[in-house]
Amino acid sequence: MFFARAPAYIRPFMQKRSLASVTSEFHIPVIKFSKFRTAKSNAEKKETANEILSGFKNSGFIYISDHGIPADTISSVFRKSTKFFKLPDAVKSQLAWEDPRSNRGYVGIGRERSTQSTDPQEILALREKAPDCKQSMEIGRDWDSEWKNKWPKESDVPEFKQTMLEFFQTCHSLHVELMRSIALGLDLSESFFDHKIDQQCHNLRLVSYPPMKRVSLEREGQARGGTHSDYGTLTLLFQVGGLEVMNAHTGTFIPVTPIPGTIVINVGDLLARWSNDVLRSTLHRVVAPPSRTVTPAEAIAPLRQSIVFFSNPNFDAEIACLPNCGTEAKYPPINTQAYIRTVLTIVCLPEPCR
């Protein structure tokens, strides 16, 4: 997505972060989250919490296994997502994403560009040269009084709405547990974040990256999803390949290989800011998995799908650097909704990606 014309109080955080030190050995740990969920003592919980904090301090990313979400549930969401994206463009376009304040609805192929830039001219150049080659469907809390979700007809994708709303709640519950582990890892009370995330101001994103000629992805600056960081607390990623994370020590990108049965979790900008940069919001991008053919001129980047749950604090929450995360606050307090509405400016592109 574009980060266009961010106000001065946001730009320093978006453009350059004075982050906690990182070791030269970049590592994304696999953490058995059931150890936290079934722990019989605070000491046992704290042990897992420290593992999670260590991963977030070093790379900003972790894998969690034994997370409590059944494989059949995740498979069902992917199946419904696949059926949705197979609908005719004319049907999907009736559900088009319209307003950055809502963050709901369908976004067509080539109409979005992920970037950290806040320079209008640079953003304009990027949008003309290398839009993201993907389509997505954005879903928020369904009871919102101001912004409504856009749902396909039940006859077009049976049980789509029910499946996505149930999965939204499932992901929110996991987010609450993860934030409790982070609270313990930061030496706060386990429930510290509970009433700061209970309004479920999250975004469930279904993403489909269509098959395309690999030469199209070899244009300068082109990617399935451009280099960016996420904006909220935690992102839960159910992926099938293509994610790369920047090693902050070397500046190189490291593939995040899918591990069956795990969810990839990463820190967003607001949680990094909340923790006074103790936790790392890491740049990442999406590239094409290996081709199906070996002929360079005909190589095809295959279809890729992912399910992403962007977790956020309550819109009315004040994000102020925690006093036990360093002796001096690096950022002034900021309102969640004001921040998110700034960074969620998506510029619609006139032409699809080819």
Give the CATH number for residue 248.
2.60.120.330
Does residue 6 fall inside a structural domain? no
Q: Is residue 273 part of a domain?
A: yes
Residue 217, in any domain of the structure:
yes
Tokens of 161: 């709405």
- Taking the CA atoms of 244, 247, 252 and 255 in sequence, report the sign of the dihedral they define: negative
Residue 231 per-residue DSSP state: -
Q: How many CB atoms lie within 10 A of CB 243?
A: 25
- Evaluate whether residue 349 is within a structural domain: no
Q: How far is CA 254 from CA 130, 237, 248, 284, 315, in A?
A: 22, 16, 10, 9, 33
Q: Return per-residue pLDDT of the chain as tens, 354 residues.
A: 333 333 333 444 444 444 443 445 788 999 999 999 999 999 999 999 999 999 999 999 999 999 999 999 999 999 999 999 999 999 999 999 888 778 899 998 765 544 444 454 454 555 555 456 789 999 999 999 899 999 999 999 999 999 999 999 999 999 999 999 999 999 999 999 999 999 999 999 999 988 766 555 555 444 556 788 999 999 999 987 789 999 988 889 999 999 999 999 999 999 999 999 999 999 988 886 555 554 555 555 567 899 999 999 999 999 999 999 998 999 999 999 999 888 765 444 444 443
As a whole number of angstroms, the distance between CA 60 and CA 74 comes to 24
188 is a domain residue = yes
Establish if 352 belongs to a structural domain. Answer: no
350 found inside a domain:
no
Range of the domain at 325: 11-15+27-343
Whole-prediction pTM: 0.84
Looking at the 3D structure of the chain, how many domains does it have? 1
> Is residue 87 a contact partner of residue 326, using CB atoms and an 8 Å limit?
no
Q: Tell whether 110 is covered by a domain.
A: yes
